[in-house]
Amino acid sequence: MSIIQLNHPLISHKLAILRNKNTGTKEFREIISELSTLLCYEALKDAKIEENEIETPICKMKVQNINEENYAFIPILRAGTGMLDGLIKIMPNAKIGHIGMYRNEETLKPVKYYYKTPKNLAQREVIVLDPMLATGGSAIDAITMLKENGATKLKFLCILAAPEGLQKMQEIHPDVPIYCAAMDERLNENGYIVPGLGDAGDRIFGTK
């Protein structure tokens, strides 16, 4: 499994603001979107391009385009939707799906409640979004469902990843590359990433 961590001074700067408990909802949400855009740029380095001819104000020329409709962005609800804006700004014609899960606070296992994706997943590159790869349960279950529905080319984008989640992903879905802004130290006894940034969903939507 490929684990691609973005290393850049700007990424470090943005992460420092995200991690700060005093960062407000508006700024937190904006930075999640910005980091998601940067992750998407990295994840699309291998995007297939098609050659077309256009006419500039000066002359005709051959250009290279990405067929955006060959891509599907699938955020895991609810925190994953905070990453979506950052991706559709640069690829607005990609298809969008949603997978709804929440974590059982006693078992720490994901509970599924919603699943809706674009058709023809087998013909698309599917990019799954969730800001936090903690225990890995939600990501693993979401990717399993997508594979069962025909997806064969998948990538996973997150802001932070814990070693425990990375290890489980490697065991269950070794074929899915993971793109993250940072790999953190560990999970605590409550299943939160340390040092982390708290509950991403609560901080994106201002619910705590």
Alpha-carbon span 165 to 182, nearest angstrom: 13
Sequence length of the chain is 208
Q: What angle do CA 159, 46, 51 make, to 5 degrees?
A: 135
- Token pair recorded at residue 184: 């953190």
Alpha helices in 20-152 (DSSP H): 25-43, 81-88, 137-148
Burial 136-173 (b: 16+ CB within 10 A, else e): bbbbbbbbebbbeeebeebbbbbbbbbebbbebbeeeb
Start-to-end CA span in the chain (Å) = 35
Dist CA 106 CA 190 (whole Å) = 9
Q: How many whole angstroms separate alpha carbon 115 and alpha carbon 103? A: 16
CA 9/CA 207 separation, integer angstroms: 30
Residues known to be catalytic: 103, 107, 199, 202
